[in-house]
Each structure stands twice: as structure tokens, then as C-alpha cells.
Amino acid sequence: MIIKKLLIANRGEIVSRIIRTCRDLGIGSVAVYSEADRNSAFLKQADETYFIGPANPIKSYLNIDVLIEAGKKSGADAVHPGYGFLSENASFAEAVTSAGMTWVGPSAKVLKAVESKCYCRNIAEKVGVPVNPGTLDPVKGFDEIAEFARKHGYPIFLKLDRGGGGKGIEMIEDDHRIKEVFERISRIGHIAFNSSDCYIEKMLSRPRHIEVQFIGDRDGHYVCLGERECSIQRRHQKIIEESPSPVVTEGERQMIFDYTLRLASAMGYHGAGTMEFLRSEHGVYYFMEVNARLQVEHPVTELITGIDIVKNQLLIASGAQLAFTQEQVQRRGHAIEARVYAEDPLSFHPSPGIIRALRIPLDLDHIRIDHALAENETVPPFYDPLLAKTVAWGWTRPEAVNRLCLALQRFNIEGLKTTIPTNFFILKSRDFAEGHFNTGFVKEMFGDIR
């Protein structure tokens, strides 16, 4: 079965990104929009658009019923959820399938299971992939947390079993804060993720965030498309991503590819996904979680492999087998992405507003800019602050970094604050240039961020 018309249940740059592949494959595209996005630029590229409700995402982009309705009205035969919103929501996947449409992503059953980080930790344990020391199952109360800390020492993380997007992670440094943190995180979990379950992870000293992009088909063939280094983060959300990582050796790479294949096949996963690992300063890898969707930073991998990940998602969803083997995947040169957020460049305070002037440097070689920006476009306060992704390719890391700096220098957005200067500052720093960094880099450079 080949997809003919795809509904994209998302907003902003990722809609434009997915439409590009739709055009390449001759698939019709359907975009949806809330009241706040009535005049947004991402709609102009779609073949058809459907209004789905108020600005409040609960009533529009997170509203399964209206999205399914839009799918039926448009005659779409498949749904791509993008990232964020309902992209990893098993009920949405199920609703799409029940409505007779194809879900572009792993099955509802897999989504339901991997939503629980404890399930993933248990699977990893079973297939011999190391997980960060901590509890495999949700903790029952603060006694258990105190007991763990007595045995293993502080600091520890309390993490929501069903948290995500950087939410539901709290650090505990001493006994006094256990009760307060436990109660707060349980409350957040209950409100935001419909589950107050949380588990403990020992905090690693100066870890790096390394993840592996993989794709699998329904027949159990998997390929790894390379790792991405994503240690430059603020509020547990990524700012700069690159591939290859400046520290991962070929031996380490083969090991984390092997971990990834073991985990994906034990989960019965098909489609594109990412296994996230933490690498300790001693080079030990711990499995953290699986991102069961297309990721924001996927262009980095596309630039070094020449493989269109969205295209492969659509083909696999249509029932096709993977068209290439692991041996045929060639990773070439170095790619690096800087996310441009609508935020204050120093405090990372949100900065919604209207884009008064815009210059996007599209005339540079080996630069890809994924965005859905336009002059006089309103950047609403209701959604993610991501404005654009600037991605550079080079034969070497310094070449890619230089090209990225040049592109950022020529990227001009007026009317709101952006993190273009932040990116520039990081990329030009000596530690970054030398590859000496960990997930604490932004905090060390810019101080504590609320």
C-alpha cells in the first residue's frame, strides 16, 4: 500500500520539512492549524489546510478527535505526527489506525510500552545493555529514596517514569529535599503525564549525551545511521547537535550500534527512532531512553549519510522493506546543527513576538536551514520556542563549525530575541572547538537557568 495523501499533525518547521519529502515522493500534503497559526508560513506549502481549533494546544494540536476528523475530511490515508505534541502517543496511533489511516511511526503497542522508562530499563537489563545505576521500577515512597541515597550517595535524579521533553527530571542533593522533590515531581507527573510514577537514577559526573539514529522495517531488519553528540543543552533540551561525536571511537560506535540493535529488536520496534545514551567521563555507556519518533536533530544524520529519514519513515509505514543494508550506509564528513530559539540569548527567557525583518542565508554552500519563518509572521507564545535549525556540513569538524558560524552570522531575525548569539558564542569557545564538553557546558558558561 502506497501513501497518497499525508496529514501532518504538527506545526512550524517540521511541517515544511515533511512536505519537502512528500513532494519528492509525489504524496499530497495536508496541514492543520489552530487559531494562533491562521496566517503561519508553514501552511502555504501544504496542498490542503484544515482548521482544528483554539490556540490552546490541548484543544487543537493535542486533540485526537479533531485531528482524526481533519484526516477523514481531507481524505488523507496516512498521518505523520512530527515530533512533540502527539508524536509518541499510543492512543493517537491507535485512533489513526482505527480510522483506516496509516500511522507513520512505531506501532501503538510499542509506543504504549516505551512510554514507561522503567519498562525500557527492564528491557535493557534483559538484553545486557547497561543502564544508569538506579531503580529499575518506580519507587514506592521517600523511604526508598533515602535508602538508595544512603547506599549510593548523592546527587541523584528523580525522574518521572512517563516524563519527556526535558520535563519531570529533578536533582536531589541531600536528605532534606527528598520529600519536597518527591511530592513536586509526583504532582507534575499527575498533571502533565497522567502518571506520578518516578524512579531513581544516580547522577553521573560530567556525562555526555550520545544518541544513535536507527531505522527498522516490519520484518525486523535494522540499520544504524550513526551517532549524534547532543551534550550542549539548556533545561535538558538540546541546543547544538553534531555527528560524528568528537569523542566516540570506532570501537565505541560499534558497541552502541550493537546496543541499539539489541534494544530495538527486543522492543519489536519498526520505523525511525533514537536510542539515547549517557557516556560517562570514563567512556562507559548507559542506555537512557528511546525516542520513538522523528527527532528535531535528524538533519544532522541526513547530511552525513545522504539518507532522507522522513522518506524511509513513509516507505516503512507503507509496508516496504528497508532499501539498504548496514554495509551500504556510508557516513561522510561532519555535520552540525544549531537550534535557533525565540529566547533571550543569555537568560533563555522566552521571547514570542512578531518577526519584523528576516534574512535567511540560503546562498551558502553546504548549509541547510529548516524553518517556517516569514516577515511579519507572529511567533505565538503557546508553543515550542524553536524557530529554525541551521545545519552545516564539512569534510572535517572545524570546516563544518566554520560554515555554521558563517551562516549564523548572516542569519538575521528582528522583532524578537533569538539564541543566534548564544550559538555563536558556544561555537567560538575554545572548549567547544577542542571537543571538551559535557551536559553541564551551558550551565558552566551561562550560569544557572530557570
Partner 1 sequence: MEASINAHMPGLVARVVVAEGTRITVGQEVAVINCMKNELSVLSQYNGVVKKILVKEWDEMQVDHPMIIVEVN
Q: Rule CB under 8 A: is residue 385 a binding residue for partner 1?
A: yes
**Residue 33 beta carbon to partner 1: minimum distance, rounded to whole angstroms:** 16
Contact stretch for partner 1 (CB under 8 A) within 75-83, 205-213, 363-371, 375-383: 375-383
54 vs 440, which CB is nearer to partner 1?
54
Q: How many residues bind partner 1 (CB under 8 A)?
A: 15
Q: Rule CB under 8 A: is residue 350 a binding residue for partner 1?
A: yes
CA distances from 208 to 3, 145, 241, 248 (A): 39, 25, 12, 10
Closest by CA to 159, choosing from 425, 318, 151, 148, is 148
Q: Rule CB under 8 A: is residue 165 a binding residue for partner 1?
A: yes
Among 383, 432, 437, 441, indicate the residue that binds partner 1 (CB under 8 A).
383
226 vs 385, which CB is nearer to partner 1?
385
Q: Rule CB under 8 A: is residue 333 a binding residue for partner 1?
A: no
Identity (one letter) of the amino acid at 261?
L
115 vs 343, which CB is nearer to partner 1?
343
**Residue 107 beta carbon to partner 1: minimum distance, rounded to whole angstroms:** 28
**Residue 18 beta carbon to partner 1: minimum distance, rounded to whole angstroms:** 21
Q: Which residue has the cell 566554520?
A: 402
CB of 5 closer than 8 Å to CB of 78: yes
- For β-strands 48-53 and 386-394, DSSP reports them as unpaired
246 vs 350, which CB is nearer to partner 1?
350
CB of 266 closer than 8 Å to CB of 127: yes
* Extended beta strands in 260-312, E state: 271-279, 285-291
Q: Rule CB under 8 A: is residue 361 a binding residue for partner 1?
A: no
Q: Rule CB under 8 A: is residue 119 a binding residue for partner 1?
A: no
Alpha carbons within 13 angstroms on the beta-carbon side of residue 251 total 2
CB of 188 closer than 8 Å to CB of 240: no
58 vs 327, which CB is nearer to partner 1?
58
Q: Rule CB under 8 A: is residue 207 a binding residue for partner 1?
A: no
CB of 232 closer than 8 Å to CB of 427: no
58 vs 100, which CB is nearer to partner 1?
58
256 vs 342, which CB is nearer to partner 1?
342
DSSP calls for 206-246: S-EEEEEEEEE-TTS-EEEEEEEEEEEEETTEEEEEEES-S
Q: Rule CB under 8 A: is residue 343 a binding residue for partner 1?
A: yes
Q: Rule CB under 8 A: is residue 420 a binding residue for partner 1?
A: no
Q: Rule CB under 8 A: is residue 164 a binding residue for partner 1?
A: no
As given in the structure block, the three cell numbers for residue 236 are 535538558
Q: Rule CB under 8 A: is residue 384 a binding residue for partner 1?
A: yes
Identity (one letter) of the amino acid at 104?
V
**Residue 387 beta carbon to partner 1: minimum distance, rounded to whole angstroms:** 11
Closest by CA to 216, choosing from 315, 142, 289, 284, is 315
Among 75, 155, 381, 421, indicate the residue that binds partner 1 (CB under 8 A).
381
**Residue 272 beta carbon to partner 1: minimum distance, rounded to whole angstroms:** 24
Contact stretch for partner 1 (CB under 8 A) within 22-30, 195-203, 299-307, 376-384: 376-384
Among 133, 138, 268, 352, indicate the residue that binds partner 1 (CB under 8 A).
352
Contact stretch for partner 1 (CB under 8 A) within 304-312, 368-376, 377-385, 436-444: 377-385
133 vs 350, which CB is nearer to partner 1?
350
Is 293 an annotated catalytic residue? yes
Candidate list 121, 293, 339, 397, residue with the active-site label: 293
**Residue 385 beta carbon to partner 1: minimum distance, rounded to whole angstroms:** 4
365-369 contacts: CB < 8 A, separation 24 or more?
A: 365/403, 366/392, 366/393, 366/394, 366/400, 366/403, 367/391, 367/392, 367/393, 367/403, 367/404, 367/407, 368/299, 368/303, 368/392, 368/393, 369/407, 369/411
The DSSP 8-state label assigned to residue 60 in this structure reads T
Residues between 40 and 79 with contacts to partner 1, criterion CB under 8 A: 54-56, 58
As given in the structure block, the three cell numbers for residue 21 are 519529502
CB of 46 closer than 8 Å to CB of 19: yes
**Residue 154 beta carbon to partner 1: minimum distance, rounded to whole angstroms:** 26
* Residues found near partner 1 in the complex (CB under 8 A): 54-56, 58, 165, 342-343, 349-350, 352, 381-385
Catalytically annotated residues: 293
